[in-house]
A and B are shown apart, each in its own frame.
Chain A
Amino acid sequence: MNQFAYDVVIVGAGIVGAACALAFAERGLRVVVVDREMVGGGATAAGMGHIVVMDDSEAQFALTRYSQRLWQKLRPQLPDDVEYEQCGTIWVAADEEEMAEVLRKQRYYRDRGVPAEVLDPSQLKDLEPNLRSGLAGGLLVPEDGVLYPPCAGRFLIEQAQKQGAKIRVGAPVVKAGGGMVQLGNGVEISGQIIVNASGSCSPGLTAGIEVRKRKGHLVITDRYPGFVHHQLVELGYLKSAHSHTSNSVAFNVQPRRTGQVLIGSSRQYGAEHKAVDQEILARMLQRAQEYMPGLGAMSAIRVWTGFRAATPDKLPLIGPWPGDRTLFLATGHEGLGITTSLGTASVLLDQITGTKPEIPFEPYLPSRAAQEYAHA
Chain B
Amino acid sequence: MPMPSAVTLTVNGAEVSVPQGATVAAAVAMAGQPCRVSVSGSPRGPLCGMGICFECRVRIDGRSHCRSCQILCEPGMDVKTDE
A222–B83 Cα gap in the complex (Å)?
A: 12
A251-310 CB contacts (< 8 Å) to partner B: 258, 297-299
Is A4 interfacial (CB 8 A cutoff)? no
> Interface 1/0s, chain A 205-246, versus B by CB < 8 A?
000000000000000001110000000000000000000000
Is B65 interfacial (CB 8 A cutoff)? yes
A299–B70 Cα gap in the complex (Å)?
A: 15
A107–B79 Cα gap in the complex (Å)?
A: 50
A298–B59 Cα gap in the complex (Å)?
A: 12
> Interface 1/0s, chain B 15-54, versus A by CB < 8 A?
0000000000000000000000001000000000000000
- The residue on A at minimum CB distance from B62 is A297
B49-79 CB contacts (< 8 Å) to partner A: 63-65
A297–B83 Cα gap in the complex (Å)?
A: 16
A152–B40 Cα gap in the complex (Å)?
A: 23
A224–B83 Cα gap in the complex (Å)?
A: 9
A258–B64 Cα gap in the complex (Å)?
A: 15
Most chain A C-beta atoms within 10 Å of own C-beta, residue among B39, B63, B64, B83: B64
Contacts of B65 in A (CB 8 A): 222-224, 298-299
Contacts of A299 in B (CB 8 A): 64-65
Contacts of B63 in A (CB 8 A): 297
Contacts of A224 in B (CB 8 A): 64-65
Contacts of B39 in A (CB 8 A): 258
A298–B57 Cα gap in the complex (Å)?
A: 13
Question: How far, in Å, is B55 (CB) from chain A's closest CB?
Answer: 13
Contacts of B64 in A (CB 8 A): 222-224, 298-299
Contacts of B83 in A (CB 8 A): 223
A266–B42 Cα gap in the complex (Å)?
A: 38
A223–B39 Cα gap in the complex (Å)?
A: 10
A178-199 CB contacts (< 8 Å) to partner B: none
A53-100 CB contacts (< 8 Å) to partner B: none
Question: How far, in Å, is B5 (CB) from chain A's closest CB?
Answer: 30
Question: How far, in Å, is B50 (CB) from chain A's closest CB?
Answer: 17
Contacts of A298 in B (CB 8 A): 64-65
A223–B64 Cα gap in the complex (Å)?
A: 9
Question: How far, in Å, is A58 (CB) from chain B's closest CB?
Answer: 44
Contacts of A222 in B (CB 8 A): 64-65
A298–B64 Cα gap in the complex (Å)?
A: 8
Question: How far, in Å, is B31 (CB) from chain A's closest CB?
Answer: 23
A260–B12 Cα gap in the complex (Å)?
A: 24
A290–B64 Cα gap in the complex (Å)?
A: 21
A299–B64 Cα gap in the complex (Å)?
A: 9
A223–B57 Cα gap in the complex (Å)?
A: 12
- The residue on B at minimum CB distance from A301 is B54
Residues of A within 8 A of B (CB): 222-224, 258, 297-299
Nearest 4 pairs between A and B by C-beta? A222-B65, A299-B65, A224-B64, A297-B63
Supply 13 A–B pairs (Cβ within 8 Å), ascending by A.
Answer: A222-B64, A222-B65, A223-B64, A223-B65, A223-B83, A224-B64, A224-B65, A258-B39, A297-B63, A298-B64, A298-B65, A299-B64, A299-B65
Given contacts A223-B83, A298-B64, list 11 more A-B pairs with CB under 8 A.
A222-B64, A222-B65, A223-B64, A223-B65, A224-B64, A224-B65, A258-B39, A297-B63, A298-B65, A299-B64, A299-B65
